Amino acid sequence: MGRLDGKVALITGGARGIGRTTALLFAREGAKVAICDVDEASGLEAVQEIEGQGAEALFVPADVSRMNDVEAVVREIRERWGRIDVLLNNAGILRDATLLKMTEEDFNAVIDVNLKGVFHATQAVAPLMVEQGSGSIVNVSSVVALYGNFGQTNYVAAKAGILGMTKVWARELGRKGVRVNAVCPGFVETEMIRSVPPEVLERVRERIPLGRFASPEEIARVYLFLASDESSYVNGAVISVDGGMVV
């Protein structure tokens, strides 16, 4: 028995990185998995990988910053499987620069994907979950939402905003049987981190009591817990998965 047997999960930004790792884990735990992403080639590869595990999967190309795209994704999932039990709001981008150098275009791009994208997906999925009387929404924030980070005005603003929206939605949707929680991952061994200079990574590592970065699987397992019925009384929580970086 898988922990997500019979459930349908939608993962935004599920084509690569932690999103893809989570999609594969959810599928192994019995879920039917829908992925939406702007990266069509990687999204289709992820679906093939999931189907290779013997699970059902669907890829729908979508830009979460556009409400029409997200609504089309939800319609396609509903037509295919009739329900959505889990929404993982994982899609995100980076456009780093210091305050004095950040362009309005880069600020808006990150807010549109990382913050408005979460609003769009949740607003599109929530009516279906309310109709079902059940559902779990997991919003991906970041450790930087809790302490700020040099050169990330736009990213931190978006990730901090996600924490606020999570608490509002937990109040609004909880009475309708829908749980909403947020996860704040710390630094994770992904492609994104490999572009950071080694000396910078070493300074970050020194701030982590566990002395290392997370694997994508370690983050995905927390998403699995919140997606599953094992967390049936967890609502409005903000869970840090950062090795103790923020304590």
Q: Which residues belong to the active site? A: 155
HSE-CB for 26 with a 13 A CA cutoff: 34
H and E: helices and strands count for the chain: 9, 7
Structure tokens at 86: 């889990």
Cα separation of 62 and 73, whole Å? 7
Report helix, strand and coil shares of the chain as percent, to nearest 5: 50, 15, 35
Q: Is 25 helix (H, G, I), strand (E, B) or coil?
A: helix
* Cβ neighbours of residue 128 closer than 8 Å, sequence gap 6 or more: 74, 78, 83, 84, 135
Phi, psi of 14 (to 5 degrees): -90, 10
